[in-house]
Amino acid sequence: MKDVCISENSCQKQSCGLCCTKIKNFGVTLGSTVILDDINLHIHCGELTAIIGPNGAGKSTLIKALLGEIPHTGTLEYVQAQKDTFQAPVMGYVPQNLNLDSTSPTSVLDLFLSCRSSFPAWLIRRKKEVENVKEKLAAVNAQHLIDRRLGALSGGELQRVLLALALDPVPDLLLLDEPVSGIDQNGMEMFYQTVSSLRRDYDLTIILVSHDLDMVRRYADRVVLLNRTVLKAGSPDEVLQSQAFYDTFSLRWQKQNNTGGDKD
């Protein structure tokens, strides 16, 4: 695996629309439990693919398997139009949450610096690097958060900061694991707008685990309904109006409409 942290390669890529990511026969088994089975997806770059599914469907597991963190069967192929060779895509990842406790004295700047360079973030802060971090944060409207502690950020702010981090350097494949709760509606809207403009600006392949079906309908190019395996994949309308979707979510919809809250 290459050390993407140190690389300064953040130049904008030319849009091609021809590179693609193929997920072939993906499966994950933990102990005797089959968590994912026979996942086949073909994703073009410049597309925002949303993964939806009930709790425990294996959405986060799929992301972690794609990252190579969890052992899996099957292959992930990334093909670029200009190059004939297969190469491992540069991954950007926005985790669901952080392991840090909220009192941790880790500022946004600390996190960026420790990812960008090998100079210890507690001792050396080069001006050029700090300016660069400000620019990256500005791209997601978060430049004012640079000196805040990670634990003091709201859910939406943290998500934007982590998004900026995942884009530094610009990845081939951007994997986003959306938190189940804790983000206000405004933050959500801002996040989806940012992600959605990214795919055009950088020609990224974006895979987004989402819990907000309304946002998915408005922003995703393609939707994958997952529950251990791919139940349905296609355009948002195709998937959200399918029988498979109705079978998976009908109870949930009713519950939500009755109580008017608690999406998951």
Please report, as ranges, the residues that interact with another protein according to CB under 8 A: 1-5, 64, 67-69, 91-93, 95, 97-101, 103-107, 109-111, 113-115, 117-123, 125, 147, 149-150, 152, 162, 165-166, 175
**Which residue, 67 or 139, is less far from another protein as judged by CB?**
67
Min CB(147)–another protein separation in Å? 7
Q: How far is the CB of 26 from another protein (least distance, A)?
A: 17
Least distance (Å) between residue 218 CB and another protein: 27
For the CB of residue 194, give the shortest distance to another protein in the complex, in Å. 19
Which of 158, 213 has the CB closer to another protein?
158
What is the nearest approach in angstroms of another protein to the Cβ of residue 145? 13
**Nearest CA-CA partner of 215 in 198, 191, 199:** 191
Q: Which two tokens stand for residue 188?
A: 């959500």
Query: In sequence order, which residues have a C-beta less than 8 Å from that of residue 246 and are 6 or more positions away?
Result: none
Minimum CB separation of residue 187 from another protein in Å reads: 19
The minimum distance between CB 232 and another protein, in angstroms, equals: 27
Judged by CB, which is closer to another protein: 1, or 11? 1
Are 207 and 213 spatial neighbours (Cβ–Cβ below 8 Å)? no
Asked if residues 235 and 216 have their Cβ atoms less than 8 Å apart, the reply is: no
> Cα 178 to the chain's mean position, in Å?
7
Residues 6+ apart with CB under 8 A from 178: 96, 159, 208, 209, 210, 211, 212
Q: Where are the alpha helices (DSSP H) in 97-242?
A: 108-116, 127-138, 155-166, 185-202, 213-219, 236-240
Q: Which is nearer to another protein, 147 or 262 (CB)?
A: 147
CA distances in angstroms from 212 to 4, 208, 227, listed in the order given: 31, 11, 16
Cis link prior to 169 (omega < 30° from 0)? Answer: yes
Q: Which of 48, 77, 93 is nearest to 216 (CA)?
A: 48
DSSP output for 193-234? HHHHHHHHHH--EEEEE-S-HHHHHHH-SEEEEEESEEEEEE
